[in-house]
Structure 1
Amino acid sequence: MKKRFSYVLFSLLVIFGGIYFFQCKEGNTDINTQKKNPDKTIENRYYRQIVYSFVSSAENSSTDYEEQYSYMEDIQDGRGYTAGIIGFTSGTGDLLEVVKEYQKIKPADNILVKYLSPLEAVEGSDSHEGLGAAFEEDWEKVGQTKEMMQAQDNIVDKIYLYPAIKFAEEDGLGLLGQYIYYDALVVHGPGEDPDSFNGIRKEALKVSKSPSQKGKEAEYLKAFLKTRTKIMVKEEAHQDLSRINFQEQLINQDNFELDLPIHWEMYGDEFRLSEQDIN
Structure 2
Amino acid sequence: MKHAAVRTGLVAAVLTVALLPAAPAGAVTALDTPRGKDLAMRLVSSAENSTLDWRAQYAYIEDIGDGRGYTGGIIGFCSGTSDMLAVVVRYTARRPGNRLARFLPALARVDGTASHSGLGAPFVAAWRAAASDPAFRAAQDEERDRSYLGPAVRRAKADGLHALGQFIYFDAIVMHGPGTDPRSFSGIRATAMRLARTPAQGGSERAYLSAFLTARRAVMRAEGLDTSRIDTEQRPFLAAGNLTLAAPLTWKTYGTTYTITAP
Q: Same fold (TM over 0.5)?
A: yes
The 5 Å alignment of 1:176-187 reads 176-187=164-175
The 5 Å alignment of 1:135-174 reads 135-174=123-162
SS of alignment partner, residue 270 of structure 1: strand
Decide whether the 8 Å contact of 1:36 with 1:46 is kept in 2. Answer: no
Equivalent in the alignment of 2:94: 105
Q: Distance in 2 between matches of 1:228 and 1:36?
A: 26
Corresponding position: 1:71 with 2:60: yes
1:192 to 163, 177, 180: 180
**Which whole-Å deviations, capped at 9, do the CAs of 1:193-241 have from their partners, x for residues lacking one?**
11111111112111110001110001000101111112112323x2x10
Q: Identify which of structures 1 and 2 has the higher relative contact order when contacts are C-alpha pairs closer than 8 Å and 6+ apart.
A: 2
**Which whole-Å deviations, capped at 9, do the CAs of 1:221-268 have from their partners, x for residues lacking one?**
0101111112112323x2x10111111111001111111111111112
Equivalent in the alignment of 2:259: 272
Q: Distance in 2 between matches of 1:200 and 1:116?
A: 33
Equivalent in the alignment of 2:239: 252
2:70 to 58, 64, 81: 81
Bigger Rg over Cα:
1
State TM-score, norm by structure 2.
Answer: 0.87
The aligned length equals 239
Q: Distance in 1 between matches of 2:181 and 2:127?
A: 31
**Which whole-Å deviations, capped at 9, do the CAs of 1:89-143 have from their partners, x for residues lacking one?**
1121211111111111212x31111111111111222111111000010001011
Equivalent in the alignment of 2:16: none
Equivalent in the alignment of 1:21: none
Q: Distance in 2 between matches of 1:255 and 1:269?
A: 21
State TM-score, norm by structure 1.
Answer: 0.82
**Which whole-Å deviations, capped at 9, do the CAs of 1:155-179 have from their partners, x for residues lacking one?**
0110111111111111110100000
**Which whole-Å deviations, capped at 9, do the CAs of 1:27-60 have from their partners, x for residues lacking one?**
xxxxx96x877xx210111121111001011111
Listed as ranges, the gaps of 5+ residues in structure 2 are: 1-23
Equivalent in the alignment of 2:12: none
Decide whether the 8 Å contact of 2:57 with 2:74 is kept in 1. Answer: yes
SS of alignment partner, residue 66 of structure 1: helix
Corresponding position: 1:48 with 2:19: no
Decide whether the 8 Å contact of 1:92 with 1:123 is kept in 2. Answer: yes
SS of alignment partner, residue 249 of structure 1: helix
Where does structure 1 differ by over 2 angstroms across 4 or more consecutive aligned residues?
none
Q: Distance in 1 between matches of 2:177 and 2:253?
A: 21
SS of alignment partner, residue 62 of structure 1: coil
The 5 Å alignment of 1:1-80 reads 40-80=29-69
In percent, how many aligned pairs have the same letter?
A: 43
SS of alignment partner, residue 98 of structure 1: helix
Q: Distance in 2 between matches of 1:180 and 1:49?
A: 15
The 5 Å alignment of 1:115-134 reads 115-134=103-122
Deviates more, 1:41-50 or 1:177-186: 41-50
Decide whether the 8 Å contact of 2:27 with 2:245 is kept in 1. Answer: no
Q: Distance in 2 between matches of 1:226 and 1:93?
A: 29
> CA RMSD for the aligned pairs?
1.6
SS of alignment partner, residue 70 of structure 1: coil
* Superposition deviation, residue 144 in structure 1: 3.1
Q: Distance in 1 between matches of 2:63 and 2:124?
A: 10
Listed as ranges, the gaps of 5+ residues in structure 1 are: 1-31
1:94 to 83, 86, 104: 83
